[in-house]
């Protein structure tokens, strides 16, 4: 038994010595291609997230034709509204009831101009809860909870939470 342990230990020591001296590799005399501790071992090919900054990540606002004419919608065709009680780009729809009925159009990145929308009129504002809301021509934008499908404009000219709500034209003005 002892001779087996000595034999196995001797073979292990020989293998370790050969590896440390570079023997056993056909490229022992070539410059090392293995990374140093400060080098990355990541693959050379770019990962899908490497170009994420080139991809639009913000909410898209576009123009669609409805029974009220050409209005602003999101990328799914959902109508967006402005609230006359807002002060400039500051939202005044912050209560739980208001936000439930009129959810703000939020974004995780720079808003994108879809077909017919003016990119120069798009912007953002920070809400009281810290979330980023899309603005158009300085107006914070909202959805209406009763709009169920593309083209619905059921929130048009509703007076709620202190002022009327209107769909928005491509120029950024309310449509009455």
What's the pLDDT tens digit per position in 85-135?
999 999 999 999 999 999 999 999 999 999 999 999 999 999 999 999 999
pLDDT in tens, 11-30: 344 433 333 444 433 323 33
Q: Is residue 29 part of a domain?
A: no
Residues 23 and 62: their CA atoms lie apart, in Å, by 67
Number of domains present in the structure of the chain:
1
With respect to residue 76, please indicate whether it lies within any of the assigned structural domains: yes
The count of C-alpha atoms lying within 13 angstroms of the C-alpha of 163, restricted to the half-sphere facing its C-beta, is 12
Beta bridge partners of residue 123, listed in sequence order: 135
Neighbour count for residue 103 (Cβ, 10 Å):
14
| Nearest alpha carbon to residue 109 among 92, 122, 120, 118 | 122
- Is residue 30 included in any domain, yes or no? no
Residue 25 belongs to some domain of the structure: no
pLDDT value of residue 53: 46
Confidence of residue 57 (pLDDT cuts 50, 70, 90): confident
Q: How far apart are the first and last CA of the chain?
A: 97
Let me know if residue 67 belongs to a domain.
yes
User: Which of 83, 165, 176, 166 is CA-nearest to residue 127?
Assistant: 83
Residue 99 lies in domain: 59-175
In a domain, 71, yes or no: yes
Residue 47 lies in a domain: no
Yes or no: say if 72 and 168 are a contact pair by the CB < 8 Å rule. yes
3-state secondary structure of 62: strand
Please say whether the beta carbons of 169 and 110 come within 8 A.
Answer: no
pTM of the model: 0.69
Q: Do the Cβ atoms of 73 and 126 come closer than 8 Å?
A: no
- The answer to the question of residue 51 being in a domain is no
Q: Would you say residue 77 has pLDDT above 70?
A: yes
> Considering the chain, what percentage of its residues have pLDDT values greater than 70?
68
């Amino acid at each position: 038994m002892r001779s087996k342990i000595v034999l196995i230990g001797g073979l292990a020591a020989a293998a370790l010595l050969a590896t440390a001296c570079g023997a056993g590799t056909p490229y022992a005399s070539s410059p090392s291609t293995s990374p140093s501790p400060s080098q990355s071992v990541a693959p050379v090919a770019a990962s899908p997230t490497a170009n994420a900054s080139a991809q639009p990540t913000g909410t898209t606002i576009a123009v669609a034709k409805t029974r009220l004419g050409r209005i602003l919608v999101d990328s799914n065709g959902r109508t967006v509204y402005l609230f006359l009680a807002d002060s400039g780009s500051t939202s005044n729809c912050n209560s739980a009831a208001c936000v439930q009925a009129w959810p703000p159009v939020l974004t995780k990145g720079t808003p994108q101009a879809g077909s017919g929308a003016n990119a120069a009129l798009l912007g953002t504002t920070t809400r009281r809860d810290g979330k980023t809301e899309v603005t158009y021509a300085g107006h914070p934008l909202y959805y209406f909870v009763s709009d169920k499908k593309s083209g619905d404009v059921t929130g048009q000219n509703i007076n709620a939470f202190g002022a009327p709500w209107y769909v928005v034209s491509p120029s950024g003005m309310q449509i009455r």
